[in-house]
Amino acid sequence: MFQGHPYHSLQVPSDEPFKLKPSPGKGWGAFATRRIERGSIIFTEKPLFVIRKPHTEITEGDVWAAFQQLSPSEKEQFLCLRDNGSRSFTYMEEAFAENSFAISRDNSLRSKGTSIHGLFLLHSRFNHSCIPNSKIPNTDQEIITSFAT
């Protein structure tokens, strides 16, 4: 099923303005396939799964339990994740830590110090940059959206 690198099998909808490809020395990233106007939505994504704990308290067991709830195709997508050296992660918790974002659906949870983290297969490919060209605003939803800056 993999056509070369496992990231080739990550499912990027065909109408999205980006594709996944290697970024020399930095792993796989998302690269624009057409001009994206400032303020435009680049991509909206629902997490593969969420874990409702502070990031520092998330364990291998937490990630394993969430993984077990996934469909076979979702499990396959999770198992495509690689570190920047293109090797498989040794632990699922490492894959989660490298590919998750803090999210919250409820302001009262955030005020109590409770956090929710979601694993995002594609948004995690948007490489970090000293000169960023996209932004994910704070949200009260589990779905995140990136905008061109």
Residue 97 in 3-state DSSP?
helix
pLDDT digits (tens, 9 = 90+) for 72-111: 999 988 988 877 656 788 899 999 998 898 886 555 555 5
pLDDT digits (tens, 9 = 90+) for 10-63: 778 888 998 888 877 777 788 889 999 999 999 999 999 999 998 889 999 999
Spacing of C-alpha 29 from chain mean position: 11
Residue 105, phi-psi category: left (phi > 0), alpha (psi -120 to 50), beta (remainder): alpha
- Torsion angle of alpha carbons 73, 76, 81, 82, nearest 10°? -160
CA distance 80 to 64: 15
Could you tell me which CATH class the domain 6-148 is placed in? mainly beta
The pLDDT of residue 2 is 40
Task: Decide: pTM greater than 0.85.
Answer: no
Structure confidence at residue 1 as a pLDDT band (50, 70, 90): very low
Residue type, 120: F
